[in-house]
Structure 1
Amino acid sequence: MGRPRKALLDRERIGATALQLVDEKGDFSVPEVARRLGVQTASVYHHVDGRAGVIELLRERVTDAIDPGTLHDASWDRALAAWARSYRAAFAAHPRTIPMLMTSPVRAPKVLAQYERVAGMLLDAGFDPSAVLPVITGLDNIVLGSALDMSAPRIMWEVSDGTRAPRLSAAQDAAGPARADQAFELTLTGFLAHCRELLERQAP
């Protein structure tokens, strides 16, 4: 028999399968990935460094949807805002990955390259090195929290017949279906304004 044209197993298929499992169930195991791919668990370990390695494949697949071109704007704050919106959209498509990825160290080279670009952009803008990771982490928290919010029910405050909360109910009705987007833009705008003030205070 001739050799198959395509390998039965590669990192791309492992990452895609793990992401499918997380989208369905909120988690995965390496044996589950192997079973779905129709291979032995040991075969998966030939391509990745255990569960941590699969998590980094997940991270790469989700962040592949972030537009790196957003970071090319000469203005650091406009670039950061555009990157945040693209970043949010990428994770909103796979919200169940967020708890897993937020609690695992970032090792994927492609993802580290984006964060390196952001760190360099902030340093070039004049931010003190001690402020760079707080700014990046704060933006991560805003983006990923909002991406989770996008997957939440439209009605988050259920006021039962026996509970009086007329002003909360009216506010929820007035916000409408754009609540999550409005909250994200409000928070992002305030965050960037604070970052500008921080930068101004650092100026000699």
Structure 2
Amino acid sequence: MGRPRTPLLDRERITTTALRLVDERGDFSVPEIARRLGAQTGSVYHHVDGRDGIVELLRERVAVGLDAAALELTPWDRALEEWARSYRAAFAAHPRAIPLLMTSPVRAPRVLEQYERAVTLLLDAGFATDTVMPLVIALENLVLGSALDLAAPEAMWELSDRTPTPRLAEVLAAVGEGRADRAFEVGLAAVLGHARGVLAAGG
């Protein structure tokens, strides 16, 4: 029997299958990936560095949606804003991957390169070294929280006559559609405003 024209297993197929599982149920297992690909579990391990290696492949796959070119824009705050928007959009496409990716150390080279570019942007703008990572982490927390919020039901508060909440009902009625987008804009403006203040105060 001749060799199959298309390899049964490779890193791309493993990553695609793992991401489908995560999108469906929020997690994956190596045996389940193998079953879906019609392969033996041990064969998967020939292509990846265990479960942690697959997580990093997922991180790289999701991060493809980030617009790294945004970090080349000027001034620095415009660059950071556009990068944050693309970051949010990339992760909003796979919200169930967020808890998985955010609870494991970042090792993926392409993702580390993006962080390098982001911190270089801020350092070159004049931010003090000890202020950079708190700003990046705060922005990341906002972005990922908002990406999860986009996947949430539009009506996150179910009001009941058993618990009178007339003022809550009033403001919920006033917010209208696009609650997650409006909240993201508030948070992004706050983070960028804080960053500008830090820079004006000497970095």
Residue identity opposite 1:27 in structure 2: D
Partner of 1:144: 144
Matches within 5 A, 1:37-52: 37-52=37-52
Structure 1 residue 184 displacement after superposition: 0.3
Partner of 1:180: 180
Partner of 1:100: 100
Residue identity opposite 1:112 in structure 2: L
- TM-score of the superposition, structure 2-length normalised? 0.97
What CA distance in whole angstroms lies between the structure 1 residues aligned with 2:110 and 2:127?
24
Partner of 1:58: 58
Residue identity opposite 1:198 in structure 2: V
Structure 1 residue 39 displacement after superposition: 0.7
What CA distance in whole angstroms lies between the structure 2 residues aligned with 1:197 and 1:67?
26
Partner of 2:165: 165
What CA distance in whole angstroms lies between the structure 1 residues aligned with 2:184 and 2:24?
26
Partner of 1:110: 110
What CA distance in whole angstroms lies between the structure 1 residues aligned with 2:17 and 2:177?
32
What CA distance in whole angstroms lies between the structure 2 residues aligned with 1:109 and 1:3?
33
2:83 counterpart of 1:73: no
Matches within 5 A, 1:24-43: 24-43=24-43
What CA distance in whole angstroms lies between the structure 2 residues aligned with 1:201 and 1:153?
41
What CA distance in whole angstroms lies between the structure 1 residues aligned with 2:35 and 2:27?
15
Residue identity opposite 1:31 in structure 2: P
Structure 1 residue 182 displacement after superposition: 0.4
What CA distance in whole angstroms lies between the structure 2 residues aligned with 1:43 and 1:3?
16
Structure 1 residue 71 displacement after superposition: 1.3
| Structure 1 residues without counterparts, runs of 5 or longer | none
Could you say what the CA RMSD is over the residues aligned between the two structures, in angstroms?
1.1
Partner of 2:4: 4
Deviation beyond 6 Å, 4+ runs, structure 1:
none
- Cα deviation, 1:50-91, whole Å, max 9, x if unaligned, reads 110000111111111112221110211101110111110111
What CA distance in whole angstroms lies between the structure 2 residues aligned with 1:43 and 1:135?
42
| Structure 2 residues without counterparts, runs of 5 or longer | none
Matches within 5 A, 1:124-135: 124-135=124-135
Residue identity opposite 1:91 in structure 2: F
Partner of 1:23: 23
Residue identity opposite 1:114 in structure 2: Q
